[in-house]
Chain A
Amino acid sequence: MKMYKNLVMGLLLSTALAGCSMFGGDDGTGTGDGVNGGVNGGASTTGVGDGSSFSGHPLDNPSSPLSTKVIYFAFDSSAVEPQYEAVLAAHGAYLAANAGVSVIVEGHADERGTREYNVALSEKRAKTVQNLLSLQGAAGNQTEAVALGEEKPVALGHDESAWHLNRRVELIYPAH
């Protein structure tokens, strides 16, 4: 699992880097409430948890729940499982404490079933996580739920070991 964590983290970091340029770069026509593209770098040190021996960004602290940025789901479910509650609490608190930070809550589904229905299913997952974050104090304009359905799998097999990894929500922070 640790290996996967690192792999996913690596992926997230690179996507976050890529997302940096596109973030908020959409044309102004009708995207509703746009997410604030501005980023307050890594200057603030009011991170959550005991990261006393870690000198980097709190979001990258391996001993902090903030380092977990992927949440996995059971088949056909958008309920957050108990083991992730602490993670989401940490992220919620972090966002609450850093009003200028925003995060994309990106929902995904495994390949089974029809594609557009899976987009809607993955949106339910993203919205559930989004709600939990706002319950912890994140503001509405700090989170945006995006639904990718089954279109961007991280694992390409056709069995539960792959599907399990694809049923996820990723928390995508801008570069920091």
Chain B
Amino acid sequence: MKRMIKTVLFLSALVTFSAMSEALRIEITQGVSSAQPIVIVPFSSVQVVGGLPVDIAQVVSDDLARSGRFKPLPRMDMLNKPSSADQVNFRNWQSLGQDNLVIGSVTPSANGMLTVQFQLFDVYKGEQLTGFSIPANRSGLRGVAHRISDLIYEKLTGQKGAFSTRMAYVTSMPGINGKQEYKIQVADADGYGTKTIVTSSEPLMSPAWSPRGDKISYVSYEGRRSSIYTQTLRTGQREKLRSFKGINGAPSWSPDGSQLALTLSKDGSADIYIYNVITRSFRRLTRSYAIDTEPDWSPDGRQIIFTSDRGGKPQIYQISANGGQAGRVTFEGSYNARASYSPDGKNIVMVHRVNGQYRIATLDIKTGFSNILTNGELDESPSYAPNGSMILYSTNDGLKSILAAVSSDGKVRQKLRLQGGEVREPAWSPFK
């Protein structure tokens, strides 16, 4: 009996000891889904005579915050402001819980040019993730800042950044002579650098970017009837498409830039037609006694989704770009319209009515899972960023219509402050 007890004790001691030398296994099944903390220290520019017209670090900070994926540290919370790697003490930033650190500097180079340099660090690993040196001139500093935002965004999320893109939109406000004045304007994705490309005393609608971003097509009511124009941005020259009796509307460029899908009602009710940009000929795509309008091309150019009330109420349908039978895509709710594909072709975004309120919603084409992203009453005209991470749309702030941006998962929303007047129908440009 004594021996048996002793053996048992010895064995159990053995087991305990071997457990000590193995790794302790810990299972993690969840984290937090919040924006990544990041510090963007103001770039130093001591050597630049006359200072800088643009606060590069602020532009980068605002870009990254707007994407909803990052939470930049406010400047007043920065204990020190290093501008070179040797000045960086990672412990400081770790104690502030900041995962990422960006420092930079602007220095003069030959011929009045500037060199903008930045470095991105992983604070907890204490190592550099990326760094670039970018030549610039004084007038191009905003563009450089957006480029830096793109580089940082790509490095930290694996996705292409969309901060160097632009947006087109329609404004409407009383003109000088008291009459209503309509414009189509183009601005940077953050609302800066506004340029008017067309002005009219009659309504303008539905701006649509060509795939290379060099042209915009739109609907104009000059002459009191609707017609479609395609305007080249660089020159301001525009061409009017052949217009027909009835509706000429809703232009949408094919991904390869050779065709435009649009709406004509010349043969009875509103239907989708395909216009060949080279041959200038029209081909009818849908035939129904119902309203078919608001076409959009899939990223592979093979399918077109559109709004149709052939089932009684507006819903989204899909048809091959070569023609054929249209199939219904949306089955939830009694009003779904103005759909467009995400850049990866996996989702569509649309206007969806729920309880009498018009909201922006996405639908996963494969799983059928839908997600309502906004909470306004009259939200419309959604437009995906070319990296699919955000959606621009039109909403009403109680006083007038304005533009807003929402992250594609619906988690972060932001209103865009542009100049006065009604602002609507945003269209996000493709990548440069």
- A-side interface residues toward B, CB under 8 Å? 19, 22, 25-26, 29-33, 104, 111-117, 119-121, 123-124, 144-149, 151-152, 158
Contact A120 B396 (CB under 8 A): no
Distance in angstroms from A69 CB to nearest chain B CB is: 16
B90 on the A face (CB < 8 A)? no
Query: Given the interface contacts A117-B314, A151-B203, does A123 sit within 8 Å of B245 by beta carbon?
Result: no
B41 on the A face (CB < 8 A)? no
Contact A112 B314 (CB under 8 A): no
B226 — which chain A residues lie within 8 A by C-beta?
A: 119, 146-147
Give Cα distance in the complex from A121 to B368, angstroms.
28
B195 on the A face (CB < 8 A)? no
Query: What is the number of contacts between chain A and chain B, taking CB atoms within 8 Å?
Result: 100
Query: Given the interface contacts A115-B381, A117-B307, A117-B338, does A30 sit within 8 Å of B242 by beta carbon?
Result: yes
Among B206, B270, B335, the one with the most A-chain Cβ atoms within 10 Å of its Cβ is B270
Give Cα distance in the complex from A18 to B401, angstroms.
28
Contact B337 A113 (CB under 8 A): yes
- The residue of chain A having its C-beta at the shortest distance from the C-beta of B180 within the complex is A152
> Chain B, interface size: which category?
35 or more
Contact A117 B293 (CB under 8 A): yes
A144 — which chain B residues lie within 8 A by C-beta?
A: 245
User: Could you tell me which residues of chain B, from 127 to 146, have a CB within 8 Å of some CB in chain A?
Assistant: none
B426 on the A face (CB < 8 A)? no
A-B contact pairs, 27 of them (CB 8 A): A22-B224, A29-B242, A30-B243, A31-B244, A32-B244, A111-B378, A113-B358, A114-B338, A115-B205, A115-B380, A116-B293, A116-B294, A117-B291, A117-B314, A119-B226, A119-B249, A119-B270, A120-B291, A121-B291, A124-B269, A124-B291, A144-B245, A145-B246, A146-B225, A147-B226, A148-B221, A152-B203
A112 — which chain B residues lie within 8 A by C-beta?
A: 358, 378
Contact B243 A31 (CB under 8 A): yes
Give Cα distance in the complex from A149 to B265, angstroms.
14
Give Cα distance in the complex from A114 to B378, angstroms.
9
Query: Given the interface contacts A30-B242, A158-B378, does A148 sit within 8 Å of B203 by beta carbon?
Result: yes
